[in-house]
Every structure is written in structure tokens, then in C-alpha cells.
Chains A and B, each alone.
Chain A
């Protein structure tokens, strides 16, 4: 215990796996290493790795010369970033008022039932992660579900099964 504490006190993080290093290197190559590049870099790494493991946050912190606390704070703030592993497909349900008043709640229940997931959970087979999101600006076609980068509007509960089936 004592020795372990001592080694932590000396601030040596676990090694970054090669895929993490590669993802951060690519993101920094694309977006630069200025402070303002933090969100694009995290976003790119999140996209490539599916989430932001601790080693990725540490590596971004090192490359951008930015405190770990700040990198972590940003990673935890935005829904587009995740510090937990996610499924292959991210299902985002808009829970804002315009979607709600055109039948969003019934679509939400259908989604939950079809996936068997509570918000924030990932399916056992690693296929889907379900989260809620605030308005994505597609109110005209509500209720709206975003799966990965694709927006699906005017949804009804009976369309949900077929929609999910398109994502393997």
C-alpha cells in the first residue's frame, strides 16, 4: 500500500496502448495542439476508439500541455464524448419538448423496449448504447432519433424495430 502510494506520488501513468497513441497522434495531426483544439481532438479520438479511455485522456493532456483535470472535465461535460465504452452504434433520443409533444414519449418507450436498455446502458453484445440528448435542431421532423451520424425523423413506435435492424 505504502509503496503503491509512493509510486502514484511520483506521477507515472500506465502505458498508453498503441491504438490509443495512434488515435491521439492522428487527431493532433489533424486539429493541432493548441488549447482550442481540445474538443475536436477529443471528438476525433472518441470517434476512432468509440470512447475516451483514461489512457487517451492522459495522452491528450500530455500532447496539448493541458491539465488532466481540464481534459477530464470537458470529456465529462459533452454528450458527444464518453469516458465509458459504448456499443458499436450510439442511439440518441431527443427528449426535448418539440419531440415530446408530437409523440416522442411513445417512441422512447418503444426504443427502450426494443433495446432492453435503460438510458446510458450498452447492450451485452456491444451492439447498441442508448442515451438521451437535448434538441438536435430537427424539430420539424420530430420525434427524432440519431443513430451514429444519421438522423431519423417523423418516427412512430412501430418503425423502431425495423430501424434498429439496419444497424448490425
Chain B
């Protein structure tokens, strides 16, 4: 520590810290513009000049390191004059086109201008066009730019995208995007970091323009992915008028992605459901559904009518066909409290374990696999831990920068700033692969889809032969190693190369990188899980991390990136057919007894079955066969997102009675009999649990539209009505359905869920960081799992052999289709297709096809392709790109109808986790003749020679 004096105050500061940072840390504000605590010092604006005893001229505090005995003054008349002069120079060419009408802007720059008694001069001619960029989110007005370069540095140091730069010299110097193009042409991801860091409003939020200043800001947790970013909803007159960064956000700081920052307007979309709807037939005559064809017209009704109808129908079906004829689908978009209630509704009141949710379709294999090898099926380390401590990162089957953008940006920075070695294994040349380039000491492996076990076995074979494994760790903490060793002997590099398509030398290089840079953290997502070998893939990665001794250590671990904002929480809350909340198995007699007592009813219920219920991927097909008579679906859209949606439609059509609780009339609504208007994330309180098991608050910012109600309130109301209708009364301590608020619900969850025992809204409001397991009110949570010993005791190696995907290409269907998502959309797109800016940048599905295949099918000149599988076809625009290898095509499921790739996918299931093999099926592709020949997108790539791609460069 270094001791110095600032304004007469004795201060201790870290060696290497700047005078500005030391002052800031001690509550002394030195005026500054180009400096920001998140960014490297730049020393450009000269506003932070200070007087230092013994120095000839006042130095800039931001670039001045603290020195022992330094005596600093930050406020003197001479400094004030110097700062005035700096501000006057900055103002000389500053033109705020809004100011004449709106008055001086409330920006950091204008606050300092006013503080030093200055004002923007009148009559300055603008030098640049106002609103100069067509980007739908970011408004560019360089007339307000003071060249502080915060945007340039934020784009480089926070986002790692390097879109902004400077061009020209002297007075002509200006900020440009890429090679002076539009932002989107310069690989801008529209994350808005540049806007968040801009102190003048030269870069501004386009969507917020003209909506007025926020009356209040409500800090809440983002509704999109599992990273769990916190952000401030800016509210005016009960509407969200913008989203701003909250520097105190624990996971993300100032960083957000395009969806989190700019994808909020769906909340106020005119298609929001505002009143309960039931099919007309339910209110007439005998209430029988019209034979054949559609379910008939909707009738808007009141909550009493709708909920009583649901109660009567569900009870009737339960009495006639038994409770297991009913299926309940919870929602990874909803809160922990709501998912807990869905689990309770199914198990306590309906009497079935048939409760599941979309985790089945994303990480069921992770949960099952990790439970088998370690005893706990969740991300073992935290994002911040890995960012700070990992020396190597192995990403396999995760398109991190598009699907978990804020964490993807962190990984870029880990490579750039800490020299972390990155190995990416992905059939596609996804964006993050740029940072796995040899010049960063990394590598991108392009394995064939479905060859992950062979790849990981091949890597482990090399590691073992080279003696890079951690024998002491294996000996002390694991079991079953010999079986693994025997199996690995059958995966020499030559064979692994043959199966995976990855050259032998790359296998050697990758093995060395991941084995010799410890700790190494593994990340995966759907590329690993959505296979018929999903559980085997996960077990292989579990093997790898035990082999290297990377479990239970900072900077290592197994790190499945969870997709939905609360998919971790929905699993935790028992929205799964085999477990009660906290993964207490329904097959465990003690667990059943515990919940039978907690949820006890006066009539001796609930009767909790000894065997698990059915999964989503079983419930829907069984609805088609008449075995499942009713579905209660909360915030899911299986008609878009389940595999082989043509079959899904037939099954839902056959189902007797479907209740859908939603915020929009989704594609699935077509098959529903009752539609209950729920609420969006901004309209309710509760908690979400992010991918790293961190429980965070979601706070209500605006009131729900019309008669829409918070989902927890709807489910609780339904619960009370079910109790009353059946004449049952609560007897156990957690058996009732009267809840005043989600905080009270969390208390009930904590009482029955050991891993949430210490979680409460009160602690979260206080700012406690809670990663489960949180074992009690004073327990600090558990950021890293498996320290000292695995949850199951010894970690278990599983000897896994490669198995091919279910459906391989043949003469009729010669191409492999793999699927995924794009950065601008979310899942089935119900929200993002109703966010104006997101739809503007990505208005339709694009199918990726390799240049060689494009030439082969004669795509040159045509734009639209027809892709056909054994199950259906899709029609969409093609994008020709070497992101995919020859023989591979890629599509997404963000758009309904003919553009949906799930018309093609196969519902082949992993035998253990019942997760479908979305990632591989066989298709054929053809160009659609007569299509407009205008600009076949991306044909560029066909002519461009292969070369390494550039971060921020063209690609």
C-alpha cells in the first residue's frame, strides 16, 4: 500500500493505482470525462488535472500513478481555470440539435459544463449528419462527440468487438465504425456498451428517443438467457421507456447484450393477452368440443368463469381417467416461486408427477449425466471465478457469444487481457472461434456433429499417454478409473480423427492446451446435450475434468451454460417428473414422506406415486395417443420449439383439454381451450436462478396490461379453487394456497428445499450473493461445488463408447442439418419477434450453407432454399458461408410456419434423459427456382479464400 495525501486527507492506495482511482475510492471526486473505472486510463480529455507538490505543471490524475508521500490538490482556482479552458475547447464544436427545444442534456459532459459555469455556445454549425447510422438501436450524432474514446475502449475492452475506431488527423479526427461503414456492416452486435459509456449523448438509445425522461428506474434481472444480467428498467407513466446499465449489477456490471438492452418492447406489444379467453364451445350446451377441425372461436371472459371452468374440467378428467392423464408444463421463463407452485399443483392437488418443462429439451442430459458422475447436475463454478482464475477454457457445443453474449464477451476479454488459452470444439466456425486462433495460443476443432464422445475420448487418450493426467487426484477422489482407461485404449488419435473429422495433429495440440494450462474450465450447451448420446457426452466431459483434476478448484469445473433465464431455477423447484424441489427424488421414500407431510390435506392426501412421471417429450406424444387427456402449459410454445413440430401439432390437436397460460397468443394457443393472460418479467416480483446457481430478484416495474395477473397469483388462485371444488382442506405446514406475495412463497420453498434453505427475498434485497446450496439463514452460499469431495462422495468415471447419431445422411437425404439460435432472437421468438429493433435486424430465418454446396445445388442467383427431411420441409432464405462445413447446414427455430427448422428435426430421444436429438438429422436441400436473383446474401464468402478471421475484422 502506498500512502499519499489528497486535499489534506491521508489516503492509502494500491501500488499501481492512479491518483484518480485512489481519490474515487476515498469519496473524492475529480472531474473527468474520458476516464471510466471499467476502462483502461487514456489521458485524453485533461479535465482531471490536479496539482502535485513538486510537479512543474498539473498532470492528469487518471494516468498518474500514486507515489509514496505524494501531496495532491484537486480543487484550486488555477485548476478550475484549466478545466474551464478544457471544457470551452470541447464546447467549441459541440452541437446538440435537441437542446433548443429540450434544454441542455442531462449528460455527464453537460453536468461538468454547468458545474464550471459554462454553456454550449449558440450558432455553431454542425459538422456531421445527425442520426447518421441506420442501426435500429444506436443513434449516432457525432456533433456531440468530444473524442473521449470511451466508446472505442468500451467496444474493445468490454465487448471485445473492436467496431469503433478513430480516423483522420488533427481537427478532422472522428470516431468511425469499422472502415467508416454503418455499424451493422462493421460487425456491431448492437450491445449498446458504447452508448452506456458515452458521456455526451453522441451515442444514444434510439428506441428511447422522444419518450421522455424516466420517472424511476427499477433494478431487475433480465428475462432472456441464463447469464442473469441485472439491468435498470427506465419507467415513465407505467411504460418501459428504456433499459440502462446498472454499474452495481453483480454478474454483468455495465455490460448487456442486444436483447437485454433493446429487446424490452415486447412487454407493451398490442398483442399482449389482457383478458382470459375460453373456446365458445365450453360455454355452450354440453361443452363438447366440435368434432374434427378447429376448436372454434375464442370468447373473452372473466377470471371466475375461466378458472372455474379449468377446475371443473381438470377435476372431471382426473376422476374419469386418473391424475396421470393430466400433464403440467412449467416454464423456465417464470420465477422460482411460480415453478414451485406448478410442481405443487401437479403433485399435491392433481396428484401426478407428470410435471416437466423445457429443460427436458436443453439440459436434461446435463442434469442426468452430472448427477451420475458427481451427484449434482449444475454448473460447478461461477462465471466470475472462471474469468479470474481459469488458465484454459474448453468450449464444446456452446455458441457462447450469441447465446450467452455477456459471458461470451467476458471470455473474449479473458483471452485478450489474461492470455487464457481457448479451445473451441464446434462443427460451425462460430464467432468465439476467432479467439481460439493459434495467435492466441488456442485452437478451433471442427468435429462432425454427433462425434463428441469420440472427440473427448481421443483427447483423453492423448492426455493419458502423455502422462498429463492428475494421478493423485484420481486416486484420492474418484472411482472407476480402470474401466475408463480400458475404453480409452480403443480411441487412438487416428481412430478419433477418422470418427470426428478432426486432424490428428489438431487433436494433439488441443489435448496439450487443455491439459497443460491448469486450471481449465469446460463449457458446454446444446451442442453437447441435444443428442441421443446427450448423457454420454456429458459423462465424457465429466471424465475429462476428473482426469485432469479440474473439479472443485477455482478456475476449473464443469460449466453447462443454461439457456433460459430461470431454467436452473425451474429444475431446482421440482418442475421435473422425477424430483421434488431441490432434487429430492420421488423414488426416495423419505422424500415422499416429507412432502406428503408438508403438503398434507385433511383427507389423507396427497398420494405421491413412487415412480417418476412423464417428460415433455413423452407427454405430448402420449396426448396424441389419447393417454394424456389434459395439459396445463405455462409459458411454453411446443409448436415451435419441440422437435418434429408436425407431429406435435397432431398430438396437441388430439388432446382433449389444453390450458395455456401465456403473455401472447402463441402458436400453441391455436390448440388451447383456455387462454390465461399471465405477466412478463417486468410486471411481477420473484426470483430467477441463473446458470451459476445464483438466486437473484426480479422486481415489478410496471403493472400488467388489462386483467393480466402475475402467474404465481393465477396458479395460487387455481389451487384454492381446486381445493374448494374437491372439498379438501390443507393440513400440513406447507399445504395451503393463500399467498400474499412471492417473498412468502420463497419462505415456503426454503422450508422444504435444503439447497434453498437460506434463501429469502430479504437477504437478496440486502445484497447477499447466494449461490445454492444455501444451507441456512447464515450460510453464505456455495460458489464452487465439489470442493474436497464430490456431492456423491467419490467422483465416478464412466467408460463411454462412441455411438453414431440416430439419423445419418444417405442417398435420399445427403446433408446433415444442425440447429440453433442467433443472437438477435430468443427461442421460439414469441418475445423477440415482437421487439421492433430485433425484428428489423433479423427479420426472417436464414439457413447457412457452405459455398461448395451452394454451387452444387445451383444456388447461385437464387435466394430461397427448400430443406426437406423425412418429417417435413422448410422454406427459407439461404446464407452462403463457410461458418458451416460442406455437407452441413444450419437453421434456427425463431420463426413459425415454413421457416421453422423444427419441421425437420427428429424426435429421437436420449434413452436416459429423454432429450431429443435436435442437433443432427438428415435432410436434402434444393434451390427454389424463380426466386429473385437480387444479391444472394453472403455469396461473398464463396469467393473469399480461406484465411484466418479477425476479431473485429471482416468475416
Residues of A within 8 A of B (CB): 2-16, 21, 54, 57-59, 61-73, 76-77
With A and B bound together, what is the CA distance between A77 and B174 in angstroms?
A: 11
Min CB gap A70→B, angstroms: 5
- Across the interface, do B879 and A10 meet the contact criterion of CB distance under 8 Å? yes
- Across the interface, do B938 and A65 meet the contact criterion of CB distance under 8 Å? no
Would you give the 0/1 interface string for B930-955, flagging 1 where the beta carbon is closer than 8 Å to chain A?
00000101111111110111111111
Min CB gap B861→A, angstroms: 15
Min CB gap A14→B, angstroms: 5
- Across the interface, do A7 and B937 meet the contact criterion of CB distance under 8 Å? yes
With A and B bound together, what is the CA distance between A145 and B164 in angstroms?
A: 36
Pull 10 A–B residue pairs with CB atoms less than 8 Å apart, ordered by A. A5-B841, A7-B935, A8-B182, A10-B937, A15-B944, A62-B950, A63-B948, A67-B950, A68-B187, A71-B953
Residue B846 CB within 8 A of the other chain: yes
- Across the interface, do B134 and A69 meet the contact criterion of CB distance under 8 Å? no
- Across the interface, do A64 and B950 meet the contact criterion of CB distance under 8 Å? yes
Min CB gap A141→B, angstroms: 27
Sample of 16 further A-B pairs with CB below 8 A, known A65-B439, A67-B953: A3-B937, A4-B935, A15-B943, A16-B943, A58-B179, A61-B950, A65-B951, A67-B952, A68-B950, A69-B178, A69-B179, A69-B186, A72-B178, A73-B166, A76-B169, A77-B167
- Across the interface, do A62 and B179 meet the contact criterion of CB distance under 8 Å? no
- Across the interface, do A62 and B184 meet the contact criterion of CB distance under 8 Å? no
Residue B163 CB within 8 A of the other chain: yes
Chain A residues with CB under 8 A of B937: 3, 7, 10, 12
- Across the interface, do A11 and B187 meet the contact criterion of CB distance under 8 Å? yes
Knowing A15-B939, A63-B948, say if A5 contacts B184 (CB, 8 Å).
yes
With A and B bound together, what is the CA distance between A113 and B840 in angstroms?
A: 52
With A and B bound together, what is the CA distance between A47 and B414 in angstroms?
A: 38
Specify which of B169, B180, B948, B954 is in contact with A58 (CB 8 Å cutoff). B954
With A and B bound together, what is the CA distance between A66 and B955 in angstroms?
A: 11
- Across the interface, do A63 and B178 meet the contact criterion of CB distance under 8 Å? no
Chain A residues with CB under 8 A of B785: none
Would you give the 0/1 interface string for B586-618, flagging 1 where the beta carbon is closer than 8 Å to chain A?
000000000000000000000000000000000
Min CB gap A137→B, angstroms: 19
Min CB gap A57→B, angstroms: 5
- Across the interface, do B842 and A6 meet the contact criterion of CB distance under 8 Å? yes
- Across the interface, do A67 and B951 meet the contact criterion of CB distance under 8 Å? yes
- Across the interface, do B178 and A62 meet the contact criterion of CB distance under 8 Å? no
Specify which of B134, B165, B843, B938 is in contact with A67 (CB 8 Å cutoff). B165
Chain B residues with CB under 8 A of A63: 947-948
Specify which of B177, B841, B950, B955 is in contact with A6 (CB 8 Å cutoff). B841
With A and B bound together, what is the CA distance between A63 and B176 in angstroms?
A: 21
- Across the interface, do A11 and B954 meet the contact criterion of CB distance under 8 Å? yes
Min CB gap A28→B, angstroms: 9
Residue B844 CB within 8 A of the other chain: yes
With A and B bound together, what is the CA distance between A10 and B883 in angstroms?
A: 11
Min CB gap A2→B, angstroms: 5
Task: Classify the interface of chain A: helix, strand, loop or mixed.
Answer: helix
Min CB gap B432→A, angstroms: 14
With A and B bound together, what is the CA distance between A6 and B941 in angstroms?
A: 16
Knowing A12-B881, A68-B186, A72-B176, say if A6 contacts B846 (CB, 8 Å).
yes
Residue B437 CB within 8 A of the other chain: yes
- Closest Cβ neighbor of B863 among chain A residues: A3
Residue B97 CB within 8 A of the other chain: no
Specify which of A15, A61, A76 is in contact with B167 (CB 8 Å cutoff). A76
Chain A residues with CB under 8 A of B187: 11, 68
With A and B bound together, what is the CA distance between A66 and B951 in angstroms?
A: 6
Chain B residues with CB under 8 A of A57: 179
- Across the interface, do B167 and A14 meet the contact criterion of CB distance under 8 Å? no
Min CB gap A152→B, angstroms: 26
Chain B residues with CB under 8 A of A71: 179, 953
Chain A residues with CB under 8 A of B185: 8, 11
Chain B residues with CB under 8 A of A14: 940
- Closest Cβ neighbor of A2 among chain B residues: B843
Specify which of A4, A16, A70 is in contact with B162 (CB 8 Å cutoff). A70
Knowing A57-B179, A67-B162, A69-B164, say if A12 contacts B879 (CB, 8 Å).
yes
Min CB gap A80→B, angstroms: 13
Would you give the 0/1 interface string for B907-946, flagging 1 where the beta carbon is closer than 8 Å to chain A?
0000000000000000000000000000101111111110
- Across the interface, do B940 and A13 meet the contact criterion of CB distance under 8 Å? yes
- Across the interface, do A69 and B952 meet the contact criterion of CB distance under 8 Å? yes
10 A-B pairs with the lowest CB-CB distances in the bound complex, closest first: A69-B165, A67-B952, A67-B162, A61-B953, A15-B943, A72-B179, A58-B954, A12-B938, A7-B937, A76-B167
Specify which of B134, B167, B437, B941 is in contact with A65 (CB 8 Å cutoff). B437
Chain A residues with CB under 8 A of B948: 62-63, 65
Min CB gap A79→B, angstroms: 9
Chain A residues with CB under 8 A of B952: 61, 66-70
Min CB gap A96→B, angstroms: 15
